[in-house]
Amino acid sequence: MDQVVEQIKEIAMKYQVDKLVLFGSRARGDHTPVSDYDIAIFQKSLSPLDQACLSEEVDEIQTLKKIDIVFVRENTADELAERIRREGVIIYG
């Protein structure tokens, strides 16, 4: 697993998220050297303040690539959540 993903995982574990999922081109394996990181965080009880703090810590990771964080509830049934479940790679949880 690459260093950026490991750093995101460490941050997420501090906030006791339920599941951390890599999705998009990096999960499919068709990413380019400049592709961003698409990360879904599944959680039941993360407060809005904790979500903001987690996002801020992720933003501080030293990388030239963009990191997109999406917070998802386990019972969410929208198109993005379904795509994450279908193509995502669980990296924690």
CA 67 to chain centre: 8
List all residues 6 or more positions away from 25 whose beta carbon is below 8 Å from its beta carbon: 31, 32, 35, 38
pLDDT in tens, 22-57: 999 999 999 999 999 999 999 888 999 999 999 999
Looking at residue 74, its pLDDT comes to: 78
Looking at residue 11, its pLDDT comes to: 97
pLDDT in tens, 51-86: 999 999 999 999 999 999 999 987 888 899 999 999
For residue 58 the two structure tokens come to 């992720």
Looking at residue 44, its pLDDT comes to: 87
Supply the mean pLDDT for the chain.
Answer: 93
Looking at residue 73, its pLDDT comes to: 85
The predicted model scores a pTM of 0.90
Tell me the C-alpha distance between 28 and 51, whole Å: 26
> DSSP strand E in the chain: where?
19-23, 37-42, 67-72, 89-92
Looking at residue 91, its pLDDT comes to: 96
For residue 23 the two structure tokens come to 């999705």
- For residue 1, pLDDT over 70 is answered with no
Tell me the C-alpha distance between 42 and 48, whole Å: 14
